[in-house]
Amino acid sequence: MENKDIHIAKVIAQEVSKKGGRTFFVGGCVRDEILGIDIKDVDIEVHNIEVEDLVKILESIGDVQKIGSFFGVFNIKGYDIDIAMPRKEKSNGRGHKDFEIFVDPFIGYKEAALRRDFTINSLMKDVLSGEIIDSFNGIEDLNNKIIRHVNDDSFCEDPLRVFRGAQFAARFDFEIDEKTKLLSSTMDVSSLAFERVFDELKKALLKANKPSIFFKSLKDMNQLSYWFKEVEDLIGINQSEIHHPEGDVFTHTMMVLDEAAKLRDQAKNKLAFMLAALCHDFGKTVTTELKNGKLTAYGHEVESVTLAKGLLDRLTNKISLKKETLNLIKLHMKPNQMYNSAKKKSMMKLWDDAIHPSDLILLAKADALGRGVKKDYSEIECILNKSLNEYKELMLEPEVVGKDLIALGLKPGILFSEYIKLGHKLHLSGLSKDEILKHIKADINKKSLV
């Protein structure tokens, strides 16, 4: 059954056809249909009728809203569909980046598609007849799994296309054409808004089966340094061959990312989980040293937090996302270090320190599997999950609260919060509420005698 956006596209197309025009599905929805991917975003482009006629058609259907930066892109309230008219550009003579964009409903289909970024996104499908217009061999590139730019000049208009190409390569497991890589390597990405770069990163981390391709593609295009310097710095940082036969920290991180992608649907916060997988070993760039013939990176998780914060501050202003990501990074070593030897009290504290303890287990699993040797993690995972379940059961038991302290004769104040914290600490150690209150009462009496 077609969704309501595709249905309304057909309604629009029928009315446009009565005026002598044609309506096409364009961009990602055509690409995704050919790839057999569920279509989520529907975009249509209307040709060969005047703007005023299109507006009248849309107004007869619903509440019309103008969207986008330039005139000629519309939306109907209640529908998640972009309705555009072909656009072309005209130089204003002030330089290669200075141009005006205006609507021209009567330009040819090929010229309209010329402004698309990649050939796989330049496909047009007639909404009514289903005819596909493929001006730049996009279907061939889809079949050959190639990301290829459409036009040298128009491609360079928007440096974000460097990151779009990388995320498409990651999402679809495609190769970027060598000429496209070369052109991308010449583009200045420093002026991009951080939100736009972060959007492409999110797509790679949350949609790709192999997010590593995003970073490997940027590496091939020499485009890691400005936005992802911390990732670039991982290249060439050697590790112990015993623990990391896969190679340097960059190689390990890419493997961990791909392992994390297999687990992300289980995560409470998918984006924080994937960002933590990316950033978890940043600190090895400053802590790795050779001691007695042995490579070590002691304390790298602490430095990783500092370096990851730098990257996250550059890319996003979402405080809770950063907090949850850094929390995972800080604790990422502990599950694999503690699962077999730590006391129950220490494990309870670990889960208590974690914002999403189940995500911490997933990160530890990805870290363990992201190496050059196959490893069965099921036993470790079972032990960790059993411990986490014990923690969850413990948290269901009653804890000391303010009214309990008042009942002991304590008045609200500084000691209140101290005793609440003490009560929680003792609760984690396995003491019952009654035992904790006896301990606190004894401490209060002791202090009153001093």
**In this predicted model, what pLDDT tens digit does every residue of 161-180 receive, in sequence order?**
999 999 999 999 999 999 99
Q: What range does the domain containing 410 cover?
A: 399-449
| 296 pLDDT more than 60 | yes
CA distance 139 to 118: 11
Which of 14-23, 191-200, 419-428, 439-448 shows the lowest mean pLDDT across its residues? 439-448
How much is the pLDDT for 71?
64
How much of the chain, in percent, has pLDDT values that exceed 70?
A: 95
Q: Does any domain span residue 296?
A: no
Measured CA to CA, the distance from residue 409 to residue 411 in angstroms comes to: 7
Given pLDDT bands bounded at 50, 70 and 90, which one contains residue 157?
confident
Tally of domains in the chain = 2
CATH number reported for the structural domain that contains residue 137 in this entry? 3.30.460.10
User: Of the residues 97, 121, 151, which one is the last residue of a structural domain?
Assistant: 151
1 pLDDT tier (thresholds 50, 70, 90): very low
- Which of 134, 151, 168 is a domain's end point? 151
pTM of this structure: 0.91
How far apart are alpha carbons 372 and 417 in whole angstroms? Answer: 48
SS (H, E, C) 302-367: HHHHHHHHHHHHHHCCCHHHHHHHHHHHHHCCHHHHHCCCCCHHHHHHHHHHCCCHHHHHHHHHHH
Domain membership of residue 185 (yes or no) is no
Instruction: For 197-217, give one letter per residue: b (16+ CB within 10 A) or e.
Output: bbbbbbbbbbebebbbbbbbb
Does the pLDDT of residue 90 top 70, yes or no?
A: no
CA dist 170 to 159, 167, 205, 319, 349, Å? 18, 5, 9, 27, 38
Position 208 in a domain: no
Longest CA pairwise span in the chain (Å) = 96
